[in-house]
């Protein structure tokens, strides 16, 4: 087996991100449905922490899908720039283990592995231990069973929710009692919302009928935090299918916008890590189309959809390779956002090179399920002001491309039109940053 170049996913950065976001949420979550014409300066989130919070679901042992071609999977993950993947199960056979090794080594990702109380559990758990020992950094988390409200689960004579809770306690104890798994997080099972032994509460959220993601995410988070108020939270599945005629289907351009909104909403609401569903469309099923086969960021041929390009553009902009990228303490710059309508939100990030990234987005209705077409949205005129200080500004539209759509030098305020897609304002304070006249 090839030697693995260590991957260094920083789960502790996710926990620190949650702590910082909790302070932000105290100011922002209560105002989700209220008018907010002006937003005051808030503590920035490190851009590197945001990048580390983004993951994607894969199924690398689904040999009757595009995941069979591991070279294509590696290429897609490199294209996106994500560092975390989630997969349902860990098969102990050498051929399958080698696929996990290749993915970690060649794509530079770390796994969240879902485990089930089936006949292969003991073998899978032992193989996962060996994988982790041999390839440090390639395992970030171990997760309890997936969506037990949709898939049957049985353990120790129990079924359903009782079996899920019992197995989760068993899994958590096995991981925490095993020194080999020191530092590995345990995610709770998904399905019925119930607290069980875990480091992170866990949920899935899927907005319906082409709706924006925020309301469904807030509703689901409220249920999770009521059940497990003291646990940080991960979101291990969320996404939108691109299947015409499906009740929840949208076109490729709308999927791209929704995916970006999902990531910003999750960060703003304090979710430690978000795994998009999923990397590839699974099947070419035009004769009997199923929505579940069309959630991919890439199509059946491995071609990037617009959502894949949007994620790539976003993570490239937020990338921070500085020596202190995951440890520096961002300063809080003086700024205000005015003109943002009630359906809008903003979130500030900082890179270790001194630059700030201000995400601005809105969530009005942008999709008609009845017509299966995009809805027009009138742009809101928003102004970002820097309390008289000056900065070089670039405006990005990651849903469209990775290049700036506008550049302004030495300005103390920036007017921006925000309609149906997120806008990122990159601000680099000028060296001689005296108060503007």
User: What pLDDT is recorded for position 35?
Assistant: 33
Q: Report which of 377, 341, 375, 378 is spatially closest to residue 360, judged by C-alpha positions.
A: 341
Do you know the residue count of the chain? 437
**How distant, in Å, are the alpha carbons of 32, 87, 265, 398, 417 from that of 342?**
8, 37, 15, 22, 15
User: What pLDDT is recorded for position 283?
Assistant: 87
| φ, ψ at 77 (rounded to 5°) | -65, -40
DSSP symbols for 271-338: -SEEEES-SB-----TTS--GGG---SB-TTS-B-HHHHHHHHHHHHH---STTTTT--------EEE
Distance between CA atoms of 263 and 89, rounded to whole angstroms?
Answer: 25
First to last CA, the chain: 65
User: What pLDDT is recorded for position 40?
Assistant: 53
Q: Hey, what domains does the chain have and what are their CATH numbers?
A: 11-318 (3.20.20.80), 336-429 (2.60.40.1180)
Distance between CA atoms of 121 and 127, rounded to whole angstroms?
Answer: 10
Please list the rounded mean pLDDT of every run of 10 residues in the chain (437 residues). Answer: 36 38 40 41 89 97 94 98 94 86 96 95 95 95 97 96 98 98 97 96 97 98 96 98 89 98 98 98 78 92 97 98 97 94 97 97 97 96 93 98 96 97 96 54
User: What pLDDT is recorded for position 286?
Assistant: 64
Distance between CA atoms of 91 and 61, rounded to whole angstroms?
Answer: 8
Distance between CA atoms of 108 and 137, rounded to whole angstroms?
Answer: 10
DSSP-derived secondary structure letter, 63: T
120 class by beta-carbon count within 10 Å (0-12 exposed, 13-18 middle, 19+ buried):
middle
* CA 64-69-71 angle, 5° bins: 165
DSSP symbols for 371-431: TTEEPP-PPEEEEEE-TT--EEEEEE-TTT-SSEEEEEEEESEEEEEE-SS-EEEEEEE-S
| Residue whose tokens read 């520096």 | 328
| Residue whose tokens read 């959220």 | 205
């Amino acid at each position: 087996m090839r030697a693995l170049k260590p991957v260094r996913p920083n789960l502790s950065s996710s926990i620190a991100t949650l702590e910082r976001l909790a302070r932000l949420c105290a100011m922002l979550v209560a105002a989700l449905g209220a008018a907010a014409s002006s937003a005051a300066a808030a503590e920035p989130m490190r851009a590197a922490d945001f990048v580390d919070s983004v993951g994607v679901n894969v199924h690398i042992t689904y040999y009757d899908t595009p995941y069979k071609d591991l070279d294509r999977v590696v290429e897609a993950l490199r294209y996106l720039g994500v560092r975390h993947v989630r997969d349902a199960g860990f098969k102990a056979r050498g051929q399958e283990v080698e696929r996990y090794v290749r993915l970690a080594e060649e794509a530079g990702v770390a796994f969240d592995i879902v485990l089930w109380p089936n006949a292969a559990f003991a073998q899978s758990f032992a193989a996962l231990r060996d994988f982790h020992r041999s390839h440090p950094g390639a395992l970030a988390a171990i997760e309890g069973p997936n969506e037990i409200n949709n898939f049957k689960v049985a353990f120790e004579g129990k079924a359903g929710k009782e079996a899920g809770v019992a197995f989760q306690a068993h899994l958590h104890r096995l991981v925490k009692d095993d020194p080999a798994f020191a530092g590995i997080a345990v995610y709770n099972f998904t399905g019925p919302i119930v607290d069980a032994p875990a480091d992170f509460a866990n949920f899935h959220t899927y907005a319906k009928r082409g709706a924006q993601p925020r309301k469904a995410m807030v509703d689901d988070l409220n249920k999770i935090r009521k059940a497990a108020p003291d646990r940080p939270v991960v979101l291990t599945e969320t996404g939108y299918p691109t299947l015409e005629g499906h009740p929840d289907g949208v076109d490729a351009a709308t999927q791209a916008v929704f995916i970006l909104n999902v990531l910003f909403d999750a960060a703003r609401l304090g979710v430690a890590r978000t795994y998009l569903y999923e990397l590839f469309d699974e099947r070419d099923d035009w004769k009997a189309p199923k929505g579940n086969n069309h959630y991919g960021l890439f199509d059946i041929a491995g071609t990037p959809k617009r959502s894949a390009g949007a994620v790539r553009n976003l993570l490239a902009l937020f990338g921070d390779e500085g020596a202190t990228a995951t440890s520096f303490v961002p300063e809080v710059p003086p700024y205000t956002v005015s003109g943002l309508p009630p359906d809008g939100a903003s979130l500030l990030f900082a890179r270790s090179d001194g630059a700030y990234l201000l995400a601005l987005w809105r969530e009005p209705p942008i999709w008609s399920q009845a017509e299966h077409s995009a809805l027009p949205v009138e742009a809101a005129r928003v102004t970002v002001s820097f309390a008289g200080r000056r900065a070089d500004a670039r405006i990005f539209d990651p849903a469209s491309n990775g290049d700036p759509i506008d550049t302004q030098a030495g300005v103390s305020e920036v007017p921006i039109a925000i309609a149906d897609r997120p806008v990122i304002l990159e601000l680099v304070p000028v060296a001689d940053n005296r108060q503007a006249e």
